[in-house]
Structure 1
Amino acid sequence: MTGCPIKVLHVITELGLGGAESMLTRMLTKAPVPSVVPEVVSLVPGGANRDRLVEAGVAVSDLGLDRGRPRLGALLALARRMRAGEADIVQGWMYHANLAATLAAALPAAPAVPVVWGIRCSDMDTSRYGWQLRAVIGASARLSRRPAGAIANSQAGIAVHRALGFRPRRFDYIANGLDTDRFRPDPAARAEMRTVLNLPASDSPVLAVVARVDPMKDHAGFLAALDKLPGAVGLAIGKGTEDLPDRPNLRRLGPRTDVPRLLAAADFIVNSSAFGEGFSNAVAEGMAAGCPAVATDVGDARLIVGETGRIVPPRDPAALAEALAALIAEEPAAREERRRAARQRIETEFALDRAAEAFAALHREILAETGTARR
């Protein structure tokens, strides 16, 4: 059993530049496991990460769904894909994909294949979104005994979902893994991007936020904190940030594919999220690039940052500004040591190959438990 390659069908809601999409893509393209043959099905067509997967030779297809408009025919197509691709195990990524995979696997057209859910968030404030999200989470809780297991990328995510009534047969934790070759200190890129972005002198602190505009991310809190830090400049990177209020101390950069080079220009990575985070890729990527983190105490931020940065309460711009001011005021030698420690923590604790191997090992365990492993 252990010597036989396993075929893993990953089902994901979409393949844009979000955290789950990026984790799946870098795991399959940067840390492929020789004993695993992956395939990806996206519910929604397109996305920048789709192109990256295809370029790396990963088989990718989609169900042609529009957001918020499920179709029974799409579930049938997914069931047929499970059979045609001879999947040994199906790994879901995010609520909608988890449900789609579970329902499709129950159809007569599907083979007998275990489904594993992927939980990528923690305490979502569903009042900030439409009724559909509440319905999906409620349905997920009711169906959570159906999958063979669930994998969360944060310990906070496991605790929150247990409280919501999720009862999978097993609930495992695998932290995200980071590509520390792509995200690293880069003095040449730092000098170039500071010029391109028209950033002030090197003694003016540059604070990066990498997050789509969404109630979860609390950009208003970040901007309020930024205004309390004279001389500091913010880099707002992510979908929708181009539409944030225009101000001299903010660079509104929108969605970007050159995030590693932008982070090279920054001094600190900031996460101002109010709720919902699981494992923040943005915080970990910033740390890998040598940017100490100041993050709100949401999801596993405290576990990621450790002693290398600061953790503050969510929805508290004054506390966020105070923590940033304290780090900015440190002596150059202390700041340099903090930068080094931030990167080292990511290299040591959140290696990409470790995460990929953990997924493969867990999938093999589940195949053995369910008696569906190929001989």
Structure 2
Amino acid sequence: MVETLPESLPSVMYIISSLDVGGAEKQLLLLASERKKKGADVIVVSLKKNGALRSQFQSNGIDVYDLGINRSIPNPLTLIRLVRLINKYKPKIIHSWMYHADLLATIALSMSRRKNLTSLVWSVRCSNMDFSRYSIMLRCVVWCCIKMSGIPNCITFNSFAGAEIHQSLGYKNRYLKVIGNGVNTELFKPNSLMRKKNRELLNIPSNAFVIINIARVDPMKDHKNLLLALDKLPEVYTIFIGLGTEQFNLGSQMYGLGRRSDINTLLATSDLIVSCSAFGEGSSNALMEGMACGLPAVATDIGDSAYIMGKAGKIVEARNPEKLSSAIQEFLLMPESEIKSYKIAARERMIKMFSLNQLVENYEQLYLSII
């Protein structure tokens, strides 16, 4: 039972690598916006300029600051700007999200006048990353985070898998806590009217079996093996959503829609949510949003996907298109009565275990425990 929260909530400065569309960024938008509604002082600092979600933060009454980092040109003025912001706003807590922000927040706080007055929380948002596929700069940042991991008052992880893997990498802290992602089950819910409308707009037959995959084009998301799996399922219609997915307009039954702001209605258009990450996934927003819309799920066994899904879908081995194809086909051939039971289980699990209210309460209790 969650304790009643005090009327005055602690002020938090959130520092994040960017405000581009992504799972971590969307979770921060949910958390910061809900805290703002409750009357908390909330400030968001992005290491990079602009970002597609910036306007949504601002429209929810949240002050947003850019540090203007250019990935290719490190600039010490960036650190000075952050130190000045910390000194100006005097937050009770600094909560940094993702590796680069964790590192910069730690250094800036140590240089500020708030060094012994402001608590620091890190958030790790991934699991078994394949760092060989990314820049040497990222590897250096992670190495620094490992060495500095004892400094924060708490390190949070959005998955049990992420906590275990980062401890094996060398993360050491007296207070490690897993707080999974949350989903707005009032926004993401079944919608029969939008299902009919979107199928007409996309020219998808009303009786077609439609799967949906929501992921930017990135080695982690493994679109390659999903496409191989779909080669074996010519009767299936597929909707791809995410940065770079326009390239998947590969035929009359594949729709690469790129970035979209109407993901909830497109999920309602579909019959099955598929998450096929090859590595690195911690707690999949897309999987949760799909299940909240009442979709059964097929996911690769990466991060906490099996825990999130429970008995509302099928878990398969990563990077295995044959097993992925077989799992999708199971749902394609499944009797409607059995599919209905999966749909009910999916939405009920999101409401019971991963609600937005639970997400916010978990973080508020964490904040109160470290100030």
- Same topology, TM > 0.5: yes
Q: Equivalent residues in 2 for 1:96-111 (5 A)?
A: 96-111=100-115
CA shift, 1:70, in A, is 2.8
Whether contact under 8 Å (1:31, 1:352) holds in the other structure is: no
Q: Secondary structure at the match of 2:53?
A: helix
Partner of 1:84: 88
Aligned amino acid, residue 139 of structure 1: C
- What residue in structure 2 maps to residue 123 of structure 1? 128
1:362 aligned residue: 366
Contact 1:268/1:293 (<8 A) preserved: yes
Partner of 1:71: 75
Q: Residue 31 of structure 1: CA displacement? A: 5.9
Question: Given the alignment, which residue of 208, 211, 227 partners 1:207?
Answer: 211
Partner of 1:264: 268
Tell me if the contact between 2:36 and 2:61 (Cα under 8 Å) persists in the aligned partners. no
* TM-score of the pair, normalised by structure 2: 0.95
Opposite residue 197 of structure 1, the aligned amino acid is L
Residue of structure 2 aligned with 1:164, choices 150, 157, 169: 169
After TM superposition, give the deviation of residue 39 of structure 1 in Å: 1.0
- Residue of structure 2 aligned with 1:193, choices 182, 194, 198: 198
For the 8 Å contact 1:102–1:115, the answer to whether it is kept is yes
Corresponding residue for 1:372?
none
**Counterpart position of 1:15:** 19
| Unmatched tracts of structure 2, length 5 or more | none
Q: How far, CA to CA, are the matches of 2:301 and 2:30 in structure 1?
A: 26
Distance 1:245 1:190, change over 3 A: closer
Q: Would you say the 8 A contact 1:33–1:360 is kept in 2?
A: no
2:187 alignment counterpart: 182
CA distance in 2, matches of 1:70, 1:183: 40
Which of 221, 224, 229 does residue 228 from structure 2 map onto? 224
Q: 1:283 to 1:195 in 2, by over 3 A?
A: same
The residue matched to 2:38 in structure 1 has which SS? coil
Report what 1:242 is aligned to. Answer: 246
TM-score of the pair, normalised by structure 1: 0.94
Pick aligned residue for 1:279 from 262, 268, 283: 283
Stretch of structure 1 that moved more, 64-73 or 141-150? 64-73
- Report SS of the residue matched to 2:156: strand
Cα distance in 1 for residues equivalent to 2:87 and 2:112: 11
Q: Alpha carbons of 1:156 and 1:203: their partners in 2 closer, same or farther (altered >3 Å)?
A: same
Per-residue Cα deviation, 1:312-365 (whole angstroms, up to 9, x for no partner): 000001001101111121111111221121111101110111111111110111
Q: Is the 8 A contact 2:183 2:356 kept in 1?
A: yes
Q: CA deviation at 1:58?
A: 1.0
Equivalent residues of 1:149, 1:168 under 8 A apart: yes
Q: 1:286 to 1:68 in 2, by over 3 A?
A: farther
Q: Which runs of 5+ in 1 are unaligned?
A: 368-375
Distance 1:327 1:246 in 2: 23
Q: Distance in 2 between matches of 1:9 and 1:350?
A: 24
Query: Hey, what's the Cα distance between the residues in 2 that align with 1:5 and 1:342?
Result: 33
Structure 2: which amino acid aligns with 1:157? G
Does the Cα contact within 8 Å between 1:95 and 1:136 map onto a contact in 2?
Answer: yes
What is the CA–CA distance in structure 1 between the aligned matches of 2:72 and 2:167, rounded to whole Å?
Answer: 26
Contact preservation (8 Å) 1:219, 1:272: yes
1:136 Cα offset (Å): 1.3
Paired residue for 2:327, among 312, 323, 329?
323
Alignment deviations for residues 268-306 of structure 1 (CA, whole Å, 9 cap, x no partner): 000110000000000000111111110000000000000
Question: What secondary structure sits across from 1:106 in the alignment?
Answer: helix
Whole-angstrom CA distance in 2 between matches of 1:321 and 1:31: 42
Change (3 A) 1:299 1:101: same
Deviation at 1:82, TM superposition (A): 1.1
The answer as to whether partners of 2:34 and 2:360 remain within 8 angstroms in 1 is no
- CA drift at 1:209: 0.5
| Matches of 1:276 and 1:5, distance apart in 2 | 33
Q: Which amino acid aligns with 1:148?
A: N
RMSD, matched Cα: 1.6
Say which is worse superposed, 118-127 or 190-199, in terms of deviation: 190-199
Q: Give me the identity figure in percent.
A: 39
Residue 28 (structure 1) shift: 2.2
